[in-house]
Amino acid sequence: MQTLAETVAERIREKVISGTLTPGSHLSEMVLCEELQVSRNTLREVFRILTKEGLLRYEANRGVFVSTPSMSTIIDIYRVRRFIECPALAQAHPRHPGTQRMRLAVDDAHLCREAGNWLGVGSADISFHSAIVELADSPRLSSFYAHISLELRLVFGLLQDPEFLHGPFIDQNGEILLELEAGRSVAAAEKLEAYLLRAERFILGAYARVAPSG
């Protein structure tokens, strides 16, 4: 059973995943205690948990902030994603339950695009790639990837233009899924690897334009 601090930490993680909390955001103890209905001691334990995970950072005399990814972090995230996602997809069976979750994520992304909900598109994209990892049937790998997904959302939030960021990749997710559904898992993995390389270059280019100098 989760402790209260662990439950509250999960709620803050969800705020990051949804894009509600963005990189560099200052977390007010007073506001969060009231919103989450917890004591300051509990919230400080939550901050310790999430700081240890790298999701938050503490600055002396300033307080607690949502972490801001660096360029080297982005490069490492995409390296890890290729190591995990591509083999999982290459060895997948088209009737695996994860395939259906990929389909649901693709459909959700299209609905969000039609509604102009670009933060929702970002969440659907993360769900799509988490479902790819589920194809490996490894709870440990899925748990590890959940943390990668949190860091990825921080990267997305840093760019502050979700339509520009996610627009080009919605249909590419669909193309990857079609290959898997047709039983061409190796071809799907090849498309995914090319996709991740393009996405990395795309995000690094966008990051270089918005990153603070110095």
**pLDDT, tens only, 2-34:** 789 899 998 988 887 777 888 888 999 999 999
Going from the C-alpha of 47 to that of each of 43, 53, 97, 168, the distances in angstroms are: 6, 10, 35, 35
Q: Is the pLDDT of residue 1 over 80?
A: no
Q: How many CA atoms lie less than 13 Å away from 113 in the CB half-sphere?
A: 17
What distance in Å separates the CA atoms of residue 187 and residue 176, rounded to the nearest whole number? 8
Reported as a pLDDT band with limits 50, 70 and 90, residue 212 is low
Q: Could you tell me the strand order of the sheet in which 56-59 lies?
A: 26-27, 63-66, 56-59
Q: Is the pLDDT of residue 72 over 60?
A: yes
- Looking at residue 158, what is its pLDDT? 78
- Give the pTM: 0.82
Does residue 214 have a pLDDT over 50?
no
Mean pLDDT of 173-194: 97
| Residue pair 128/106 in contact by the 8 Å Cβ criterion | yes
